[in-house]
Amino acid sequence: MHTLLLTLLLLFIETDPLDRPYSEQTVTADLQAILLTDSPDSAAYKGITQYLLLMSFTEEKLEGKTYRQILDLYQLWDVQDKARRTREEVQAALEAEAEQKRSEELAKVVDVHLREITTQYTDSTVQFRYSISISNTSDRKVKSLSGFLYYQTATGGSLLSVDLTFQEPLLPRSTRRETITTTYAYNPNADYTPGWTESGKAKVVWKPEEVKFEVGPAGR
């Protein structure tokens, strides 16, 4: 009699679905049961489903593990993933800071100023001519340079790619004028007179990427 009552009692006791073993045949019903008994934020359900999705791209076998064990694996993975992303963000910030310092040092060696922007129209194109001055403040001859000029006005901004290799090197402690020309297909309905065409009204920032000097005695 006591044995029968105990058996009937056990039948009415629902085990925690987190303690069920994972099986591909029952996973849909198991996850529904976990969701029904989960906390209000469904943290266990979300963690388990995310880990199952992650593992679907690997060869890791989950058969035989309980959903509680799978949740523990997800929580461990989550801690490790957050630590990895933090390391990557710190590394990216350090690299960006180093690149900024390198660019600032290069700008002290070779400085570029925007002098004037003019436009010329044909029936099908519009041509921009950028007049710039390049100053070599170093004691070495500059063979080539590359970088960007950023224009910033109250209404927006743009940039000009500067990529020059000199036929005659830029001499030490000297300044040279150069012209960069870009051509675009002309649309008569478009506005080709942005505010920064008046260079005196624009904030212009020179960001060099590379400066190459002549090597050997000729480069001194």
What's the mean pLDDT in 96-107? Answer: 92
Whether residues 73 and 121 fall in one domain = no
- Is 0.75 surpassed by the pTM of this model? no
Domain boundary among 67, 82, 101: 101
Phi, psi of 130, deg, nearest 5 = -105, 115
pLDDT at res. 14: 56
**Domain end (from 84, 101, 118):** 101
Q: Beta partners for 136?
A: 110, 174
CB neighbourhood size of 168 (10 A): 8
Whole domain around residue 191: which residue ranges?
109-219
Residue 123, pLDDT > 80, answer: no
Number of domain units in the chain: 2
In this prediction, residue 84 carries a pLDDT of 97
Judge if 123 and 93 occupy the same domain: no
Angle between helices 67-109 and 43-55 (to 10 degrees): 70
Mean pLDDT (the chain) is 83
How far apart CA 100 and CA 96 sit, in angstroms, is 6
Task: Read off the pLDDT of residues 155-210 as tens digits, 9 standing for 90 and up.
Answer: 656 667 888 888 889 999 999 998 988 888 877 666 555 444 444 455 678 889 99
User: 158 and 96 in one domain?
Assistant: no
If asked whether residues 33 and 131 sit together in one domain, one would say no
Query: What is the reported pLDDT for 71?
Result: 95
Domain shared by 68 and 87, yes or no: yes
User: Can you give the CATH number for the domain in which 192 is found?
Assistant: 2.60.40
One domain for residues 96 and 114: no
What pLDDT does 182 receive?
Answer: 85
Q: pLDDT tens for residues 171-180?
A: 999 999 989 8
User: What's the pLDDT tens digit per position in 14-29?
Assistant: 579 999 999 999 999 9
The more confidently predicted of residues 32 and 14 is 32
Cα dihedral angle (26, 28, 31, 35), rounded to 10 degrees?
A: -140
Give me the long-range contacts of 122-125 (CB less than 8 A, separation at least 24).
122/186, 123/186, 124/185, 124/186, 125/183, 125/184, 125/185, 125/186
On whether both 207 and 124 belong to a single domain, the answer is yes
Same domain, 191 and 91: no
Q: Which residue has the higher pLDDT, 151 or 83?
A: 83
The verdict on 119 and 210 lying in the same domain is yes
What average pLDDT does the segment 120-138 reach?
87
